[in-house]
Amino acid sequence: MASAPPIDEGLRSELQKQGIWVTSMQELYNWGRRNSIWPLQFGLACCAIEMIATAASRYDLARFGGEVFRPSPRQADLMIVAGTVTKKMAPQIVRLYNQMPDPKYVISMGACAISGGPFKQGYNVLKGIDRYIPVDVYIPGCPPRPEALLHAFMELQRKIDGQKLTGTGKAAFLDKTVPSEFPVPAFGAHDLEPPANADVFHPPKIERH
Amino acid sequence: MSLSTRAQHSAVEAPPGMPSRLDGELLEVSMGPQHPSTHGVFRMNVALEGEVVRRLKPVFGYLHRNHEKIGENTSYLGSMPYTDRLDYICSMSNNWGYALSVEKLAGIEVPERAEYLRVILAELTRLVNHASLLGFLLSDMGAWGTPLMYAFRERENILDLFESLSGSRMMCDYMRFGGCRCDLPPGWMERARKVVDGFPHFLDEFEQLITGNEILIARTQEVGKLSAELAISAGITGPGLRASGVNYDLRKVDGYGFYPRFKFRVPLGEHGDCYDRLMMRVLELRETLGILRQAMDDLPAGPIMNPKVKIRAFKPPVGEAYGRIEAPKGELGFYLISDGSGNPYRYRVRPPSLINLTVLEDMCLGHTVADVMVILGSIDIVMGEVDR
Amino acid sequence: MEALDEIKVRIEAAIPGARLEIIPNPGPANQSSLLLDHAHASTVARFLRDDPALRLDYCSNVTGVDWLERTVKKKVKVKKVVEGEEKELEETREEIFSGYLEAVYHLYSMAHKHGPLVVRLRTRDRAEGAHLPSLTPVWRSAEFQEREIYDLYGIHFDGHPDLRRILMWDEFTDHPMRKDYREPDDYEYEPTPHDDVLEKAKQHYVPRPAQDGTANIAAQ
């Protein structure tokens, strides 16, 4: 856990042996949140089939508390961007993200959602959803195996577990100065306008000869 | 229950007990691109009068990932993995369609064993596709989850076979022009036989679950009727065409691969409604199992690749070719123009899913908005192929 | 099915004034095609569909092809007077073929189970003259495919019931499947570029800053 526990670990385990369970508000709150993540039922392309397979009988996402796929963004905590994001679809995705209530998380599933993947050179393919919305977990693969999506899910749970509720460095969704909605790009004559959101997309400058 | 038991109400009028008019006022509803039962990012602009559909315009392009442009800028071999991502449930049959077209373009012979392997894998793909379709379609009708779980249980078994053969669950990239990429790993055939032998159990269970179900019959019979004339004119292919009673199966008509060597029947519908389209899939699954058993019994030994073909730096002679196969969703065609260089001058995919949607509006008019999902589900589309 | 030249003869007999041309296909596929003129295209299409021997009732595939203007270099022997003497010289001459857009239709018969018959239509040029008669009234299956050609190639199909963009958004002005289309450059971040992407990514590189007083190689 990233934040320091508010109670001495030795004392806590000693108390636990006596049948007294001591916890903090933050731990309880994050424990509840991380074990009931409701993903948005929303598939874009090939990865969506693997996402369904993850939720289906063999891989069973329910073991991690993530089986309640909600068709409405108003009820969802997690957006799994599963598949190629085209420029025609990108405004819709930003709109869906804006409609989700805080706290909200994004998993960028598969090569296409990360960077455009094999379809990078297409004229209608967005080269990564992180040009418009912030992403929490990236999973590579084309498509990633269901195990990889489960791994991403566990990474996200770890991230939620470490989020602080108060003080400096508290979670972004509790900070009113951090935006939770982002402008929706418009359809232009040749490309989306703007082609990337400068507030979100900060590619490292590549220095080469 | 037999095909003749049908709901009595006419399809054109609103169902009884439902207000048919709202003072003639039309309500515009945009269904999709984010909608739980549009099978991806498909969108329909529907004009409703009460609950009844009066106009329906499909909107495409939300998954247009420029397949054809990329295909023209890459080598012939380089396009093969992209074909996996067309209809991403059936990568094996997409591979075959493309390989067949390139073989036509360059006049390549395929060894006997490779042709048999192609038949086996394409038919396994048909099992995956039709089983998933049954699950998705029932989900659309409100049987949320359970049939899909059954279907995906079977799908996982077949994907295990694909994975041990090609290294990938979904994107197999297995076939090459002139043959196949690699031979079967040891023990593969025994496992495949086990899967095929276990499949009828799933089908029996499934049929018991659905075919006599009152709700299913009320939701599908007399819904989304398609006449044979309109189906032919609109270029509908695959189970959707045969449900309207047109006997046109490319495995019989073109006789590509070694299909003429196998004994199988082509199931035909009579009414062209959603129920017939659904049952076409169930009946086709049974025939597919028969083809699989025959092909597995007869599989000859020998090479799996034509040694004369140089698949890297492949340069077919100048010319053009259109090759087509009976993919699980309909006629999948590839049209290639070669200018003698390493990249095709024109690379075109004839997508069955897109063309099967041509008459979606005609099928939906006069039905309720809830029926639209059933009709769309029974057409069986995958957006990767619709938009490419 | 009959041979293509027999079909051509029959069409010309049935439809007076129709100008047809057989475009040979040199490849092993042996699918030669029939080029129709604009004025008689839909009459010929109806004939192909309704003729009892052909019955090409199923239009499987409709697609566009972009042929750019190209110059073909030819060696021609020319007689010339050089230094008072007449000599035969070899000279290379450039012949310019103007560009055009093409729509290709693959026709099959579900009734007789034969095919394909390949039919082509060519536009006058690649700009204002990019008009073709629509065959959607004859075969309904051409509806979406002709819309797609309009979207990606910019061929206007006269007589199409609903000619709008199908894959790209309505505000889009280009025709991206044309061979001279240039896509927008958004290759800002490419950690491992190769092939065509490398050239595009290089334009976004910044020169490496000078370290320890050594001059930057790229800046020189």
For chain B, what is the mean pLDDT? 86
Q: What pLDDT was estimated at residue A171? A: 84
pLDDT at B310 over 60: yes
Distance of CA A118 to the CA centre of its chain: 22
pLDDT at A164 over 50: yes
B236 contacts B227 by C-beta, under 8 angstroms: no
Q: What pLDDT was estimated at residue B208? A: 84
B101-119: average pLDDT: 90
Residue of C nearest to A195 (CA): C186
A187 contacts in chain C (CB < 8 Å)? 169-172
- Beta strands B27-31 and B43-49 are antiparallel
Considering only CB atoms, A191 lies closest to which of C184, C205, C207, namely: C184
User: CA dihedral in degrees (B132, B133, B136, B138; nearest 10)?
Assistant: -120
B73 contacts in chain C (CB < 8 Å)? 196
Chains near A with 3+ CB pairs less than 8 A apart are B, C
Chains near C with 3+ CB pairs less than 8 A apart are A, B
Considering only CB atoms, B65 lies closest to which of A50, A52, A86, namely: A86
**Residue A118 touches chain C, beta carbons under 8 Å:** no
Helices B146-166 & B188-210 angle (0-180, nearest 10): 170
* Other C-beta atoms lying within 10 Å of the C-beta of residue A161: 16
In angstroms, rounded to a whole number, what is the distance separating the alpha carbons of residues C19 and C40? 8
Model confidence at C202, in pLDDT bands (50, 70, 90)? confident
pLDDT at B19 over 80: no
* Number of Cβ pairs < 8 A linking chain A and chain B: 93
**Residue B348 touches chain C, beta carbons under 8 Å:** yes
Considering only CB atoms, A88 lies closest to which of C169, C206, C217, namely: C169
Per residue in B243-284, pLDDT (tens digit) is 999 999 999 888 888 889 999 999 998 888 889 998 899 899
Instruction: Look at residue B165 and give its three-state secondary structure.
Output: helix
Considering only CB atoms, A88 lies closest to which of B61, B88, B148, namely: B61
pLDDT at A118 over 60: yes
**Residue A142 touches chain B, beta carbons under 8 Å:** yes
* Residue to substitute from A89, A125, A142, interface B, most B β-carbons within 10 A: A89
Model confidence at A168, in pLDDT bands (50, 70, 90)? confident
Per residue in B21-67, pLDDT (tens digit) is 555 678 888 887 888 777 778 888 999 888 888 889 999 989 999 88
Helices B369-379 & B274-298 angle (0-180, nearest 10): 20
A8-21: average pLDDT: 89
Domains and CATH numbers, chain B: 67-386 (1.10.645.10)
Q: What is the ipTM of this complex?
A: 0.85
AA letter at B234: A
Which residue from A138, A49, A117 is spatially nearest to B170, judged by alpha carbons? A49
Q: Considering all CA atoms of chain B, what is the largest pairwise distance in Å, rounded to the nearest integer?
A: 72
* Residue to substitute from C152, C165, C172, interface A, most A β-carbons within 10 A: C172
Distance from CA of C126 to the nearest CA of A (A): 19
- Answer whether C110 sits within 8 Å of B232, measured CB to CB: yes
pLDDT at B16 over 80: no
Q: What pLDDT was estimated at residue B141? A: 83
- Fold assignment, C4-202: Beta Polymerase; domain 2 (3.30.460)
- Answer whether B61 sits within 8 Å of A92, measured CB to CB: no
Distance from CA of A208 to the nearest CA of C (A): 6
Q: What is the DSSP string of B322-340?
A: EEEEEETTEEEEEEEEE-S
By residue count, chain B amounts to 388
Structure tokens at C133: 């008669």
C49-65 residues labelled b (16+ CB within 10 A) or e (exposed)? beeeebbbbbbbbbbbb
Which residue from B294, B263, B31 is spatially nearest to B140, judged by alpha carbons? B31
Q: What pLDDT was estimated at residue C210? A: 61
pLDDT at B317 over 80: yes
Q: What pLDDT was estimated at residue B1? A: 34
C-alpha pair distances (Å), C147 with each of B328, B363, C105, C156: 25, 20, 14, 9
AA letter at A157: Q
Q: What pLDDT was estimated at residue C105? A: 92
Residues with Cβ within 8 Å of A71's Cβ and at least 6 positions away in sequence, in order, are A40, A41, B35, B36
* Other C-beta atoms lying within 10 Å of the C-beta of residue A127: 25
Provide the residue ranges of all domains of chain C, joining segments of one domain with +.
Answer: 4-202
Q: What pLDDT was estimated at residue A105? A: 92
**Exposed / middle / buried, residue B28 (Cβ in 10 Å: 0-12, 13-18, 19+):** exposed
Instruction: Look at residue C97 and give its three-state secondary structure.
Output: strand
Considering only CB atoms, A127 lies closest to which of C176, C186, C202, namely: C186
Range in A203-207, B217-221, B222-226, B351-355 with the lowest mean pLDDT: A203-207
Per residue in C41-75, pLDDT (tens digit) is 889 999 988 888 888 999 999 999 998 888 777 77
For chain A, what is the mean pLDDT? 87
In angstroms, rounded to a whole number, what is the distance separating the alpha carbons of residues A92 and A107? 17
Instruction: Look at residue C58 and give its three-state secondary structure.
Output: strand
Domains and CATH numbers, chain A: 38-171 (3.40.50.12280)
Q: What pLDDT was estimated at residue A154? A: 92
Distance from CA of A43 to the nearest CA of B (A): 6
AA letter at B112: E
Share of chain B above pLDDT 70, in %: 94
In angstroms, rounded to a whole number, what is the distance separating the alpha carbons of residues A206 and C201? 10
